[in-house]
Amino acid sequence: MSTSAIVMMLVAMLVLWGGLALAIWNINRYTGEEPGQVERDL
């Protein structure tokens, strides 16, 4: 692989997979309210 291809692959991984990791970290630290009363599916 050429150097430019390797660099772009790493950048894509960093941005997209890193973005996903950040997004998951963000929602895990945020304690929202889970639905407790609307679980029934009649």
Give residues in contact with other proteins (CB under 8 A): 1-2, 4-9, 11-13, 15-17, 19-20, 22-24, 26-27, 29-30, 32-42
9 Cα distance to chain centroid: 18
Sequence letter at residue 12: A
Report, in Å, the least distance between residue 3 CB and other proteins: 10
Q: Could you identify the residue written with the tokens 């304690």?
A: 31
Report, in Å, the least distance between residue 7 CB and other proteins: 8
Contacts of 1 (CB under 8 A, 6+ apart): 9
